[in-house]
């Protein structure tokens, strides 16, 4: 029975991997830089746990799991941008890559802060890059929607003038 469960798990993992690669190919997301981002997320999670213990906080697996889930949730941002590009039939590859690069630098920044905390037993100020990006994306979406609604209204005005 255990052998069967291991085979099923391997099949599920392989199917997930193929599905992700297929989605990345379809959405035209460069897998190499995305893999680097995932690596930084894992490293930052580990360093964050170490810095928390170093600061005298009790290690809690539930908190670690929650933090890791939030970090994995970050990966949704580039996927959303890529889906938006596909839906609008635009070439947003530059924006998708830029999003991944900003997230990678943010994770690097967090790793460096955690290393500083571990070394000096002193917390450093963090910046909330994710919230800043979400606000920027919302502003972009609002401008896009408004400019296209204006075009629709102008098209309606042209028909009324005939």
What pTM, to 2 d.p., does this model score?
A: 0.74
Q: In the predicted model, is pLDDT for residue 100 greater than 60? A: yes
What are the residue ranges of helices labelled H in 29-160?
31-54, 61-74, 76-88, 93-120, 129-160
Q: What is the pLDDT of residues 62-83, one digit of tens each?
A: 888 888 788 877 878 888 888 8
Average pLDDT score, the chain:
85
Phi, psi of 40 (to 5 degrees): -60, -40
Residue 118's pLDDT is 93
Mean pLDDT of 72-97: 84
Please answer whether residues 77 and 103 qualify as being in contact, where contact means their C-beta atoms are separated by less than 8 angstroms. yes
Average pLDDT over residues 86-98: 85
pLDDT at 157: 65
**At 48, phi and psi to the nearest 5?**
-65, -40
**What's the pLDDT band for 160 if we cut at 50, 70, 90?**
low
User: For residue 21, what pLDDT is reported?
Assistant: 79
Distance CA 152, CA 158 (A): 10
Domain boundaries, the chain: 2-126, 128-162
pLDDT band at 159 (very low <50, low <70, confident <90, very high): low
């Amino acid at each position: 029975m255990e052998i069967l469960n291991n085979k099923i798990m391997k099949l599920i993992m392989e199917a997930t991997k193929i599905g992700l690669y297929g989605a990345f190919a379809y959405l035209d997301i460069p897998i190499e830089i995305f893999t680097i981002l995932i690596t930084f997320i894992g490293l930052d999670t580990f360093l964050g746990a170490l810095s928390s213990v170093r600061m005298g906080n009790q290690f809690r697996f539930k908190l670690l799991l929650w933090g890791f889930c939030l970090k994995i949730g970050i990966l949704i941002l580039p996927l959303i941008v890529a889906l938006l590009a596909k839906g609008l039939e635009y070439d947003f590859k530059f924006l998708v890559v830029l999003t991944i690069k900003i997230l990678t630098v943010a994770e690097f920044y967090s790793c460096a802060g955690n290393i500083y905390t571990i070394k000096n037993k002193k917390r450093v100020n963090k910046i909330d890059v994710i919230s800043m990006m979400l606000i920027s994306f919302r502003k972009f979406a609002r401008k896009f929607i408004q400019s296209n609604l204006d075009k629709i209204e102008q098209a309606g005005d042209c028909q009324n003038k005939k």
